[in-house]
Amino acid sequence: MKKLLQCIFCWLFLGLGVASAQELNCRVQINTDQIGGTDKAVYESFRNNLTEFLNTRQWTSAQFSKVEKIDCGFMFIFQKSVDNVHTVEMQVQSRRPVFNATYVSPMLNLRQAIEFEYQEGQTLEFNPDNISDNLTASIVFWVYMILGMDFDSFAPKGGEVFFQQAQHIVTQAQGSLGDNWKAHTDDNNCWAWMDALTNETQQAYRLLSYQYHRLGLDMMYDKMEEARANITKSLEALKTIKSNDARSPLLSNFSDAKLDELIQIYSKAPKAEKDKIYDLLLDIYPGQSNRIEAIKEN
């Protein structure tokens, strides 16, 4: 209930200073296998500084208890480092707890190529009105996406304020920080994600999230059939999303984050219900037929 109220009033929760009630429980991992040499101090410095930046900064004015913190992770696979300029594949994940269960539900699961400057011991700073650093711009953008998607799952469009903040970053970064911020250059770049979550034709996804999580997963512990019916109903929105934009990053993210979860959800469903979901998902994700087939096999 506390978090639901936070969602309803989340437009009050702006803030970027250091505070005592941080929102994220974020793990930062690095992989430097592709980088030659033995001096890896700069990468450890990067990991430590970014971990501190993510976990000690206050991103909202909401009060989060320890158990309410959002679990998330950033993985950086360093591919090239020359003169403090690093080319990496960044993986971003976030999870959401399910009411009255030990299970956590995947929310965000993506990979993105970025390039940024970083030298050992560098202080990470972010000013939303003076964005000139691709590293912190990218990180803060995804923090707001993590927050927005989490809050959307607790109240209808509850993450609106965070998506507005992310949109501001895209607007500021478009002219100076490279292709990751430019329109129509990559179906999975920051601009594409922001367009999907603010475009009126894709709003069904945000309502899907609330129905799927709050009226579905959170009710599974005592109203399994009703909860599963709500999840089934929510998935109809995927048809609308695909018909409006088959290349939407929201569709690929849902596939990566949720297909395995759906296999478990429908493992105890009646055959007719399994068949319905199988047909729906196969129509949306024909390239995932091998994974979707498991719904019928369980």
* 111 and 176 part of one domain: yes
Domain boundary among 198, 214, 233: 198
Number of domains observed in the structure of the chain: 2
pLDDT digits (tens, 9 = 90+) for 206-247: 999 999 999 999 999 999 999 999 999 999 999 999 999 999
Res 9: pLDDT: 36
pLDDT under 70: residue ranges of the chain? 1-21, 38
Q: Give exposure, 105-121, as e/b (b: 16+ Cβ within 10 Å).
A: bbbbbbebebbbebeee
260 and 139 together in one domain: no
- Are 179 and 221 in a shared domain? no
Same domain for 119 and 236, yes or no, is: no
Q: How far apart are the first and last CA of the chain?
A: 34
Range of the domain at 248: 204-298
pLDDT at 219: 97
Q: The tokens of 77 are what?
A: 């696979």
pLDDT given for residue 21 in this prediction = 53
Which pair of structure tokens corresponds to residue 69?
């913190």
> What pLDDT score does 173 carry?
93
Are 63 and 187 contained in the same domain? Answer: yes
Whole-angstrom distance, CA of residue 15 vs CA of residue 40? 34
What is residue 57's DSSP assignment? Answer: B
* Spatial strand order in the sheet of 24-31: 24-31, 70-82, 85-97, 104-117
Axis-axis angle for helices 249-265, 237-244 (nearest 10): 160
pLDDT at 225 (0 to 100) = 95
Q: Is the pTM of this model over 0.85?
A: yes
